Amino acid sequence: MELTVYGPLRSVTGEKTVPLAFEGGTVADAIEAFVDAYPRARPQLYDGEALRPSVRVALEGERVDLEADCPADASLALFPAVQGG
């Protein structure tokens, strides 16, 4: 899988787009695989055990919910919450 990250997540990965070992499943499973590979991303994406409501996810360029199917060869983009005024 290819995963593109935006905002503060880029400081976690060091790159805008990173490969991610993922066997397929749901979008939520893919995000968990990302957090397993990059543990420092967890506080930016999760509030406790739940994904922050302000986090946006796109699969193949289309916004999707966490229960959507996500194949192993998908292209996923994560947009974390950005704070400021």
Q: Which of 47, 64, 39 minimizes the C-alpha distance to 79?
A: 64
Q: Is residue 12 part of a domain?
A: yes
Mind listing the pLDDT tens digit for each residue in 9-62? 999 999 999 999 999 999 999 999 999 999 999 999 999 989 999 899 999 999
Total structural domains in the chain? 1
CA 73/CA 67 separation, integer angstroms: 17
Of 44, 36, 33, nearest to 11 by C-alpha is 44
Q: Considering the domain boundaries, does residue 7 fall inside one?
A: yes
For residue 21, give the amino acid letter.
A
Domain around 56: 2-79
Establish if 84 belongs to a structural domain.
Answer: no
Residues 6 or more apart whose Cβ sits within 8 Å of residue 31: 45, 51, 57, 66, 78
The strand pairing partners of 25, in sequence order, are: 70
pLDDT at 85 over 80: no
Residue 43 lies in a domain: yes
* Residue 39, domain member (yes or no): yes
State the CATH number of the domain containing residue 27.
3.10.20.30
Q: Is the pLDDT of residue 83 over 80?
A: no
